Structure 1
Amino acid sequence: MYNSKKRRKANIARKAKNQGIQLDNDKFLIYSLSSSRVKLKSELDYLRRLYPDAHNAGLSDVMSNLRVREEDMILVLSATRDQFITLEALLKKTIKLGNKHNLDLNIPFYEACLVKYRLEIFEMLNNHLEGFSRCNNDALDRWADRFRIEKRLPIIPSVLCLSIPKNQWIAPPKNMNTAQACYDTLKKRLFTLLLEDHL
């Protein structure tokens, strides 16, 4: 048991170093001794309600994983808090971007959605944006096209797309040729890649 925990601790320290994740040594010592996956998951869920995302890309990817491994839970829980993005900060950015694109704000929805796991949000988007539906908002239609092509999207545009009721995303006429729809979507995506700011 001791050797396995020692090996686990070494694996986590190595991953943190490789991904540039700063660890709080005191927290790392405590969490690396934990033998309860349930307790680790409970603490991770609580942490994510306060800090749904991270500045560090590797840390952000681990946090967004629905099936996070025990080692990764310890990694996230042991990371110094200045590497995380607070719910309040994400909410402010979501409101700012929503206002920029003339959306009716739905702050309670934003708060509830921003703390969800990224894969869960992508599953919701996949269902929400069936077919080649549009909502007649250039920015949201552009983000929807990006999601259809890349199968992922930054969290704030994802939440804003989901905040538009599904019945306001209108699919093209059924007799519209699917190949033409694909072509139009790809053409618009290539064009907007040249114009849109990085989110």
Structure 2
Amino acid sequence: MTRLGFVIESKACIACHSCAVACKVENNLPDEVWWNRILTDGGPNMDSPAGTYPNLSISTVPMACQHCENPACVKVCPVGATYKDAETGVVRQDYDKCIGCRMCVAACPYTGVRNFNWEEPKYAIGQPMGALDIPVHEKHVVEKCTMCWHRLAKGEQPACIEPCPARIRHFGDFDDPNSEVSKLVRENECSQLLEDRGTNPSVYYVM
């Protein structure tokens, strides 16, 4: 048994969006669809700071599916299309079972981490450019971060980890006390998003 997840040093994030782009390319995400986003808290526009120069401020929140230990989305799915993998703790989607009811979207407290494909997926370059072993995107299903399940199956890390130039994203097994992520949580003050909801996300942010 493992509990895979992330530790993100968000204060050191430079908002370059490399992780988001890597995710989009690796998973061949359709136009306008992002499973991994870097949200910025500052000015009125993305990546814009608050204040007046030179007194400016901005903070970042890398956001994707939180792969909760107690996922609200799994409880409400009427057909078992949203489920938690028993071996890894990864919250997964079965596109073949999904009936498009979007109950998981409504139940998830983390706004915007899921996408519903209202139409047939469209692509800017007109052809797939992601990994060969990813599921085909379909109309009328809900999608989200898979933690790059196809890469995990080969013993690789999610695609968002390696491209980060600031090396602020860490991935590993929280059930292993000697893993890098376990040590980071023990040795630093960390937070989880919406801790009061009882979902116990598998994403920790170093404060």
State the TM bucket, normalised to the shorter chain. under 0.3
Indicate the structure (1 or 2) with the bigger Cα radius of gyration.
1
Higher percent of residues as strand = 2
Decide which structure has greater helix share.
1
* TM-score (norm: length of structure 1): 0.23
Compute the TM-score of the two structures, normalised by the length of structure 2. Answer: 0.23
